[in-house]
Amino acid sequence: AGTMGSGIAMACVNAGFDVTLMDVGADALDRGLTTIKRNYASSVKRGRLTESEVDERIGRIRTSVGYDECAEADLVIEAVFESLDLKIEVFEAIDRVARSGAILATNTSTLDIDRIASAATRPGAVVGLHFFSPAHVMRLVEIVRGQSTAPDTLATALAVAKRLGKVGVVVGNGPGFVGNRLVFPYMDEAE
């Protein structure tokens, strides 16, 4: 329910999806919902949404402490801090409870998708969905294909990006994928 998780949740409810926002504690969930409400209040103030539209969207966000709600999801998007060890730990927990046929996505911006997929018993169901911040605004989503990512997983990821109103670009599993691979040298030169 941090910066990326809250933004991804907003992008999903904006597209009509029902969302369960999960975190390890109630305080983190409260902070995430506060961020979402603040972002929507800004949209109302600018005249982009009405109060009733915001209420409807927030009404489609459930919250959950822990991973149990993953059992009902068709798509689980992990959005924890960029630590390979943490992402592997989270993927192991998600894999234990997620239903058969669910897609397990990581929002990593630089980490090895294949290493993350190795934490799951179903690596074909693992894909990268790298949203750019703020996730509810930025249009690009890198769809990272791992070595084992199944064709139907990739096709579903593309369909989800399209429904979100994003530009989904399929990229290979390499350091920094495309976006960060371009930005890192640019930042080095600027520095």
Count of residues in the chain: 191
d(CA 157, CA 168): 8
Active site residues: 130
Give 149's contacts (C-beta < 8 A, 6+ positions apart): 113, 117, 123, 124, 126, 127
Residue 95 has a pLDDT of 96
79: nearest Cα among 14, 162, 122, 20 = 20
pTM of the model as a whole: 0.93
Edge to edge, what strands does the sheet with 103-106 contain?
Answer: 75-78, 103-106, 126-131, 140-145, 167-172
With contact defined as beta carbons under 8 Å apart, do 103 and 158 qualify? no
- Which tokens hold the place of 136? 């509810």
pLDDT (0 to 100) of residue 176: 74
- % of the chain with per-residue pLDDT over 90: 89
17: left (phi over 0), alpha (psi -120 to 50) or beta: beta
Q: Is 144 exposed, middle or buried (0-12, 13-18, 19+ CB in 10 A)?
A: buried
pLDDT tens digits for range 12-40 = 999 999 999 999 999 999 999 999 999 99
Residue 7's pLDDT band (boundaries 50, 70, 90)?
Answer: very high
pLDDT score for 153: 98
Using the predicted structure, report yes or no on whether residue 180 has a pLDDT greater than 80. Answer: no
